[in-house]
């Protein structure tokens, strides 16, 4: 049996609110529409029919130069009309009706759907819902048993002649349906569910296009020995040392590198901008408090810390016995599990200013997650 995939892209994408059809918006450099087309470029699919809108003609035809085997057909005012127009030109025995707005559909979902149509005349990808679903009617609320409740996706597969006759009947009856399976159900009885996939998400709102959830930040700081003080501070931990680090603040070179990494991850200026060393307010400032201020700022910018990795370069003092305390201190400061904080320390093999024992340099990398 031959298979036609129908990709629907003739909507306006009004809820997404972009200047153009949401399907023409790129996700990591490739438009949602192109991604959807690629999902059906499979040996199991014999034909791809694309329903598009006149207003998108230029963009669609320019894209189709890359996919000359795709058959374009003008869509209609409603999704139902677009499906109907596409069904009228589809040549397959089996049709897979797909919302172009689901560009992440996997090959297995498509194959499951085709197999289901071959065996049961229809295949509707469904995934169990994790929320409790409630139906509101004039009699009040009714609660379907959650274990029996599914969310329905596309592509939805049917025998072309069957679904076409359902559409013709619906048109005669002037009835509207929100999807193809409910229309099939109204005229031919229950369709068969096939295995869907939770990652087969539909793009509806602008926020659905924002796939970026993580950010990386990198920071470096150096301070020279020379302060008349018998300790240094690293990550808020006091470590005995023959000399302290010279700084306008308390000289916690490690926290300074961490703060720069945090600010850099969200595209903000460095600590010198927020806590200038020309400002007397920050003379001897407690870097732990400064770090708390920075954390609040990055949180206001929508991100929280997921993990931190720090490398300290110091010829002296010996840090081995302090590493775990530094890690624990950083973990509690950043509000992450201790296992998400790594601190390594090493000498510079007597090379350069670090090797000559003149100062300490710290490198910090943070991974941030959308809060």
- Contact set with Mg ion (CB under 5 A): 11
156 sits near ligand CTP (criterion: CB under 6 A): no
Contact of residue 244 among ligand CTP, Mg ion, none (CB under 5-8 Å per partner type): none
Residue closer to ligand CTP, measured from CB, 48 or 360: 48
13 sits near ligand CTP (criterion: CB under 6 A): yes
Chain positions 41 to 80 lying near ligand CTP, rule: CB under 6 A, are 51, 75-79
123 sits near ligand CTP (criterion: CB under 6 A): no
Which of 3, 6, 9, 322 is the binder for ligand CTP (CB under 6 A)? 9
Chain positions 264 to 293 lying near ligand CTP, rule: CB under 6 A, are none
**Shortest distance, CB of residue 24 to Mg ion, whole angstroms?**
15
Contact of residue 100 among ligand CTP, Mg ion, none (CB under 5-8 Å per partner type): ligand CTP
Query: For the chain, where are the alpha helices, taking DSSP H only?
Result: 32-39, 57-64, 79-89, 107-120, 160-173, 180-188, 253-265, 271-274, 287-300, 323-334, 352-355
Select from 94-102, 160-168, 271-279, 317-325 the region that touches ligand CTP (CB under 6 A).
94-102
Residue closer to ligand CTP, measured from CB, 77 or 161: 77
8 sits near ligand CTP (criterion: CB under 6 A): yes
**DSSP symbol at 121:** S
DSSP string, 163-205: HHHHHHHHHHHT---SSHHHHHHHHH-PPPEEE--TT-----S
Instruction: Name the residue number minimizing CB distance to ligand CTP.
Output: 11
Chain positions 159 to 188 lying near ligand CTP, rule: CB under 6 A, are none
Instruction: Name the residue number minimizing CB distance to Mg ion.
Output: 11
Judge contact between 222 and 237, C-beta under 8 A. no
Select from 10-18, 55-63, 247-255, 266-274 the region that touches ligand CTP (CB under 6 A).
10-18
Using DSSP's 3-state secondary structure scheme, residue 285 falls into coil
Strands 70-74 and 47-52: parallel
Residues 6+ apart with CB under 8 A from 333: 236, 288, 291, 292, 295
Residue 305, Cβ density class (10 Å: 0-12 exposed, 13-18 middle, ≥19 buried): buried
- Rounded distance between C-alpha atoms, residue 195 and residue 217, angstroms: 40
Q: What is the C-alpha radius of gyration for the chain, rounded to an integer number of angstroms?
A: 30
Helix axes 287-300, 323-334, angle to 10 degrees: 40
Query: For 244-360, where are the alpha helices, taking DSSP H only?
Result: 253-265, 271-274, 287-300, 323-334, 352-355
Residue closer to ligand CTP, measured from CB, 99 or 260: 99
Total chain residues near ligand CTP (CB under 6 A): 21
Which of 3, 6, 10, 295 is the binder for ligand CTP (CB under 6 A)? 10
Site residues for ligand CTP per CB under 6 A: 8-15, 23, 51, 75-79, 82, 99-101, 202, 204
């Amino acid at each position: 049996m031959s298979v036609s995939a129908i990709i629907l892209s003739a909507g306006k994408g009004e809820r997404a609110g972009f200047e153009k059809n949401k399907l023409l918006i790129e996700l990591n450099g490739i438009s949602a529409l192109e991604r959807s087309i690629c999902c059906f470029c499979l040996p199991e699919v014999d034909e791809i029919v694309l329903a598009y809108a006149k207003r998108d003609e230029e963009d669609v035809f320019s894209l189709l130069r890359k996919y000359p085997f795709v058959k374009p057909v003008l869509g209609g005012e409603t999704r139902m009309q677009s499906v109907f127009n596409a069904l009228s030109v589809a040549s397959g025995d089996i049709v897979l009706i797909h919302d172009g707005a689901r560009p992440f559909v996997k090959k297995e979902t498509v194959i499951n759907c085709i197999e289901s149509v071959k065996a049961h005349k229809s295949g509707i990808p469904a995934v169990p819902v994790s929320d409790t679903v409630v139906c509101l009617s004039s009699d009040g609320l009714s609660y379907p048993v959650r274990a029996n409740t599914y969310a329905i996706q596309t592509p939805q597969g049917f025998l072309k002649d069957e679904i076409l006759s359902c559409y013709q009947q619906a048109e005669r009856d002037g009835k509207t349906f929100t999807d193809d399976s409910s229309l099939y159900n109204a005229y031919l009885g229950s369709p068969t569910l096939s295995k869907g996939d939770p990652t087969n998400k539909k793009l509806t709102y602008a926020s659905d296009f924002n796939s970026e959830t993580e950010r990386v930040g990198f920071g470096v700081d150096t301070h020279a020995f020379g302060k008349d003080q018998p300790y240094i501070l690293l990550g808020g931990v006091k470590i005995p040392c023959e000399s302290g680090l010279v700084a306008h603040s308390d000289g916690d070179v490690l926290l300074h590198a961490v703060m720069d990494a945090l600010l850099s991850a969200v595209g903000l200026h460095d600590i010198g901008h927020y806590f200038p060393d020309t400002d007397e307010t920050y003379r001897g400032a407690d870097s732990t408090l400064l770090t708390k201020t920075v954390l609040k700022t990055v949180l206001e910018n929508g991100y929280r810390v997921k993990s931190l990795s720090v490398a300290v370069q110091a010829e002296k003092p010996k840090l081995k016995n302090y590493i775990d305390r530094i890690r624990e201190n950083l973990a509690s400061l950043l509000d992450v599990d201790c296992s998400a904080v790594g601190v390594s320390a090493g000498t510079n093999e007597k090379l350069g200013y670090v090797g000559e024992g003149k100062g300490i340099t710290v490198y910090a990398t943070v991974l941030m997650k959308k809060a």
